[in-house]
Structure 1
């Protein structure tokens, strides 16, 4: 029931580290709890990078968090190596189980808080209020966010943001399409003087396009005021940002809770030693039933660690807000439907097992 990345990449790699490098033989004093504490430390460090304004820094944060996820697999390998037991089994109620659960909670919390801090510093733009200049070939999809730092304005402590809108109804522009929504962020424009380059930059864009710019608004954003008054109706409010991230956090937590609960029940029903031949045959029949396979396959995509990997990919390609918005409704529908099917299946199978 673990995600595909864990099943095919991280877990085999952790096993390879133990079998090839003999990690526990060379470092017998490093316990699984020590590994868990260390990847908790990496989770805390990653907040600084994942909430940074620069995409390259956030990508470094993603790499740090992926290392943390690898160590999360390694601590289980180390634990089984110390026990001389290669069987994959959750030891519920043990001290190591609670340490691992706490480290996973800390890791997920750090990741979600990083997104929240980043959006508070760089509020995303309302898609309903921004119209793309669809015929500007020089505008890039990767420059649609507002930055709170500007190389051209560090001297006077201000940020310059260029907001381009088009109100010409004759143009074939479709605001409902995400590809037709853009904001040009000129924070890294090589400006030699603060009074010259905005006009030059705008003229260069206009000369390379057949689209007329009906409205050009230039605003100055000070470091003490994250959202200028002129942009309050353009960017998402802090309340909207908080509720969106909170909805994702609740869905993430719900997935983690019910995945762990389902794993515990299926382990008890299908992986416990059978006392009779009839019970063993029943376990095999339930395990190979189509409904069991479908439920376990769904949990592979919807478990908390898989959702975490999806979010890390969105951060790496600078599509975090789009991921949170576009997976909100379908994400809730998928996780609730999977939970209902799982609970019904467990309730049906449990009387047969007992």
Structure 2
């Protein structure tokens, strides 16, 4: 290991706690920002006839006038449908970092030879290197692979940021059907496949073990069966008074099944996440013929914020962040075994909530 396990556990626990607290605070600030300030995408037209609504809307302040954090690096400045559905790490951490790196290096303004597609192709290469490292038995090397996969996700954010800056687009947007949209999606898919293949090869070469605590084995009930997830756990069990008797290793077929179910969650989550971004954008942002005040009302509603918050948790990027944390903590198999079924329940809840909300938005806005 790179440092003593007790020290690593304390540091990781502290960082995880700080990150969760930071994301909760930022979500709260984002909700208050949406409720109390103007939204860029709902500019009131000059020929608006709803005087009461117009007066109420125009009385709201511009968020840019009151915030002390420059809007170029402030993730709260330009809330959009996609911004509300992007996972917390990408939105609140990698997004501002991309803006800072872009400002420092001048990628959008001066380094025009670096296109968003070149950045996308490069993060596929980074993912392939990370996939190779993640197959190694040495934990320190696998942790380096996690760092590379996080770098890949940062570059995935950077290509979108550069594309929006060069097109002078404010806030997160999905330009469905464009060349950049498909290149970015295919490169993301290749990066995820590389990570899954690397984890599969690692688990194949280092399969988890099953064993019975205590002796003799034949006298123990089945519910005392325990899976040993790492070599560290195996050594720890050897130090107990009762010892442990190993049964068979987890079969490769079982490993493929669990990893396949997890990969299926990611695939379904990606499809549904992109679908609802597209649907919400059409109803609330792109269809300007719909009443602006009704669209703004739905965008500011607590139900819409709750529905999009669910996708912050179950979107494919969140899955990758959690999997990266599990690999870093050397608990890959334990994480996959825990979520390979339960994750589908969370996904069904998110889809059902979104379907209900889509129908409500359509019936309210279109009418």
Common fold, TM-score beyond 0.5? yes
Equivalents in 1 of 2:138, 2:322: separation in Å?
20
Q: Is 1:311 equivalent to 2:360 in the alignment?
A: no
Contact 2:200 2:259 in 1 (8 A): yes
Equivalents in 2 of 1:66, 1:343: separation in Å?
32
Query: By how many angstroms is 1:349 displaced?
Result: 1.9
Equivalents in 1 of 2:244, 2:170: separation in Å?
67
Query: By how many angstroms is 1:7 displaced?
Result: 1.0
Return the match for 1:323 from 321, 324, 335: 335
Range moving further from structure 2, 62-71 or 19-28: 19-28
Contact 2:88 2:312 in 1 (8 A): yes
Query: By how many angstroms is 1:88 displaced?
Result: 2.5
Residues 329 and 100 of structure 1: is their aligned pair in 2 closer, same or farther, counting only changes over 3 Å?
A: same
Return the match for 1:73 from 157, 161, 173: 157
Query: By how many angstroms is 1:177 displaced?
Result: 7.5
Q: Is 1:112 equivalent to 2:196 in the alignment?
A: yes
Contact 2:143 2:327 in 1 (8 A): yes
Equivalents in 1 of 2:255, 2:169: separation in Å?
46
Contact 1:131 1:182 in 2 (8 A): no
Q: Give the corresponding residue for 1:141.
A: none
Equivalents in 2 of 1:182, 1:110: separation in Å?
22
Instruction: State how 1:192-231 maps to structure 2 within 5 Å.
Output: 211-213=241-243
Contact 2:207 2:250 in 1 (8 A): yes
Return the match for 1:175 from 224, 235, 245: 224
Query: By how many angstroms is 1:82 displaced?
Result: 2.1
Instruction: State how 1:324-343 maps to structure 2 within 5 Å.
Output: 324-343=336-355
Q: Secondary structure of the residue that 1:23 maps to in structure 2?
A: coil
Return the match for 2:276 from 241, 262, 271: 262
Cα deviation code 1:279-314 (max 9, x no counterpart): 122112212223212111110010000111000000
Q: Give the corresponding residue for 2:184.
A: 100
Return the match for 2:104 from 17, 20, 39: 20
Equivalents in 2 of 1:284, 1:185: separation in Å?
54
Q: Is 1:35 equivalent to 2:122 in the alignment?
A: no
Return the match for 1:238 from 252, 255, 269: 252
Residues 300 and 89 of structure 1: is their aligned pair in 2 closer, same or farther, counting only changes over 3 Å?
A: same
Q: Is 1:251 equivalent to 2:332 in the alignment?
A: no
Q: Give the corresponding residue for 1:161.
A: none
Query: By how many angstroms is 1:131 displaced?
Result: 3.4
Q: Give the corresponding residue for 1:151.
A: none
Normalised TM-score (structure 2): 0.69
The two structures, once aligned, show a CA RMSD in angstroms of 2.9
Q: Secondary structure of the residue that 1:131 maps to in structure 2?
A: strand
Return the match for 2:307 from 292, 295, 308: 295
* Structure 1 runs, 4 residues or longer, greater than 6 Å off: 168-171
Name the count of aligned residue pairs: 280
Q: Secondary structure of the residue that 2:249 maps to in structure 1?
A: coil
Cα deviation code 1:240-273 (max 9, x no counterpart): 1111000000001000000000111111112236
Equivalents in 2 of 1:73, 1:105: separation in Å?
14
Normalised TM-score (structure 1): 0.72
Contact 1:43 1:111 in 2 (8 A): yes
Of Structure 1 and Structure 2, which has the larger fraction of its residues in helix? 2
Contact 1:167 1:214 in 2 (8 A): no
Residues 212 and 99 of structure 1: is their aligned pair in 2 closer, same or farther, counting only changes over 3 Å?
A: closer
Equivalents in 2 of 1:253, 1:64: separation in Å?
22
Equivalents in 2 of 1:183, 1:308: separation in Å?
20
Structure 1 runs not aligned, ≥5 long: 133-164, 190-201, 216-230
